[in-house]
Amino acid sequence: MKTLALSLSVALSLSSPSHAETLTIHSEKNHNIELDGKLSEDVWEKSTIIKVNNVTYPYDNAVAPVDTTAYLLEDGEKIYVAFKAKIKNITELRASKRNRDEIENDDYVAIKIDTFSDARKAFMFAVNPYGVQKDLVDNEHNNTASINWDAVWESAGSIEEDQYVVEMAIPLSSLQYNDEDGQPLKWGLELLRFYPRNLIYRISHMPFDRERACRLCQMESISLFENREHVNSIDFTPEVTAGWERKRGDIASPWEHDSSNNIGITARWKTSPSSQFLGTINPDFSQVEADAGVLNVNEPFALYFQERRLFFTEAAELFESHDELVYTRNISSPTWGAKYTTQSGEHNLAAIIARDSETSILIPGMLRSSLHSLDEESTQGAVRYRYSLNQNASVGATGTLRKADVYENTLLSFDGKYRASDTTTFYYQDSLSRTQYPEDLLNYSCPDAECNNNNDAFSGRRTLFEIEEEQENLYVFLSYIKTDLGYRADLGFQNEVGTVKKEVYGYYDWFSETDWWTNVYLGGSSEYKDSIEGDFLGNKRTAFAGFSGPWQSTLHLEKIYAERIGINEQVGVVSSLGENTKFSNDGWSITLSASPTSWLKGNVYYSKMDAIDFSEDRQGMETLSSLSLQVRGSDDIEVSLDLSYNPFKIGRDTLYEASVADLRFVYNPTNKHQLKASVIYYKLKQNKDMYDYAVLENYKDWQLQLIYTYEVNSLTKVYAGVASIDYETSLTNKVGPITQSAFFKFSYGFSI
């Protein structure tokens, strides 16, 4: 399902048109640069100096309201980048001391480089006025930007009376790139400044053509590193983890104590500028910070969470295809893992294999999905190859495997992308799978002969065809997806099978270069979903409108007309559709966000919808209200609060009320030290007289967490913290802890 393509986060990541000539970056091997955010060394006077003065968003190539100058040079091992960013009023500067990748709401400057000069992938390195880093990978194949990638590089910043100054040093060893001996490297370049005031200005050193859908095709060509020094280094990151935990089934039960100590190591061998091996033994892949609190009542499909673990995020973009066939959070507790990635000219290849001590399986269905675990180890692996015929066409293939003693899933997929013009792109993907479940899981997930051909293994196919038209003022998206009932992508994220989905989505934009509004859009969508046999499952039609304006504000209104069937006569995740009743899903929603000052940002959402009580297949009415606030007390303190309230009514009677409060406090005395406290409170109240089975009338739980982090770079870190989960139910009417834990984790990265 496509989201609004010119939402603020996407619009801010657009690149800019290329210059006709190649720009040569100054080379200086003998220098005395010290990264301190001062630019006091004489060598900066010899650097390649470029003005960054063109607003590409929200305006269309307008003169920037502030002056920015960039300085570039290289010494054969690193590229050095500096910015002088002028400030009109120092009190309006938005900057904070935060951990890396958390500067989205700040002033910051950035360099974006396409190191293969093929308009398929670009790395962006950004720094705020305090020297805090943000790095990401911009992937042209899926038009996505991932901040999960973390490189090892250096930065510094300083704030002066009328400007802030930033310096960066990016080693060649942290990048993958094409290397032709004796020839200078040819890269794509864009220099950027993000200037958030009443509006958020995206300022580039070059113009951008909004009529061209290919962003990376428009970057400026640069020549550099003619006399480079590449070292086939091996990076090691040993880590030590210690944990203590006690838990109990309820507050009246005795505590059960457990402790764990772990020593592991991860290594990366960069065999060439474009190829690398990664390996890990006995790793601790625990996720230190809790996922955000979410409401998951009356939700038929599994929720999706982002991958944050470093071994999996490295070169993760090379595994991406149009469908998500490699979702590495399925690999939950590996004892070892290995990965190989390479890029050479038109060829991209990536492979990963891991041995997991746990085996969790997402069981998809037509109307709902569920998670199951097998108490046995499994081997998990994936291979992805992509061949680019030119900048406009590519083909790819993906294979995945998950195998345990009583379980196996294999998948083979072929995909293609063709850009027929500057604005029109075609996507195709065809996937085949074969799956063998243990008998109890087979009966739950696929009891009919439709996907169980020989009472042992079953197979299925998924076909996807999409067209995307993206012009300056018009966006249109068409999609056709057919998924067999027996299709499984168990290493990916596939929670729906046995369906045929047809969708059209589009909107029209108007832009303005005034201060009181910058963008207005009108659009709509239509989606139809049937079972593979042609039975009706649901349809949805929407009309929406939106506005962007002062205080960095956005407003989105949406009216929905929809109906779908319930989950009557459900066997496992497969439904008998003959008697299912159609239910209304009509409703409307409104979303409003704004940042009126440098210290406050807020978002409000409200929706009211006809809905289905999936527990007993009956028509109801559901409302959802949410409020998000970020308050910056100073440059080193931030408090965030997320509130959600979700009542569900059958007629005039309330079936349940669910609510979540997620409060987080962050204190950064420096860029490298952080103290974070979080409290997540969840409450569920149910009307037991309205259910045909026993339910808890009241349930509450509190998740408390306190974490200290010291981060030198993306490899060398220290974590220490404590956590507790407390709960109360209508059976106990007492609040008490059921899980308490403490943990320590240390990793240290070095090269040989």
Secondary structure of residue 218 in the 3-state scheme: helix
Residue 440's H or E segment, with its range, is helix 439-445
Mean pLDDT within 641-659: 95
Residues whose CB is less than 8 angstroms from the CB of residue 350 and which lie 6 or more positions away in sequence, other chains included: 315, 318, 319, 339, 340, 341, 342, 382, 383, 384
The Cα–Cα gap between 75 and 123 comes to 20
The Cα–Cα gap between 451 and 441 comes to 13
Q: What is the pLDDT of residues 112-150, one digit of tens each?
A: 999 988 888 899 999 999 999 999 998 887 777 777 788
- Say whether pLDDT at 6 is over 50: no
CB 709 within 8 A of CB 698: no
pTM of the complete model: 0.85
CB 286 within 8 A of CB 264: no
- Say whether pLDDT at 543 is over 70: yes
- Say whether pLDDT at 389 is over 80: yes
- Residue ranges of alpha helices (H) inside 47-187 are none
The pLDDT of residue 440 is: 74
Q: What is the pLDDT of residues 185-194, one digit of tens each?
A: 999 999 999 9
Q: What is the pLDDT of residues 421-462, one digit of tens each?
A: 999 999 999 999 999 988 777 766 665 555 555 557 889 999
Q: What is the pLDDT of residues 217-251, one digit of tens each?
A: 899 999 999 888 776 778 999 999 998 999 887 77
Query: C-alpha distances in angstroms, 536 versus 564, 566, 577?
Result: 8, 11, 9
Q: What is the pLDDT of residues 249-274, one digit of tens each?
A: 777 788 899 988 889 999 999 888 88
N-terminal to C-terminal alpha carbon distance within the chain: 46
Both tokens assigned to 629? 């606030």
- Highest-pLDDT range among 305-309, 353-357, 555-559, 581-585: 555-559
Domains of the chain: 8-224 (2.60.40.1190), 236-261+615-752 (no CATH), 299-497 (2.40.160), 499-585+595-608 (no CATH)
618-634 and 48-51 beta bridge pairing: unpaired
The pLDDT of residue 5 is: 34
The Cα–Cα gap between 446 and 571 comes to 9
Q: What is the pLDDT of residues 490-531, one digit of tens each?
A: 999 888 899 999 999 999 999 998 878 999 999 999 999 999
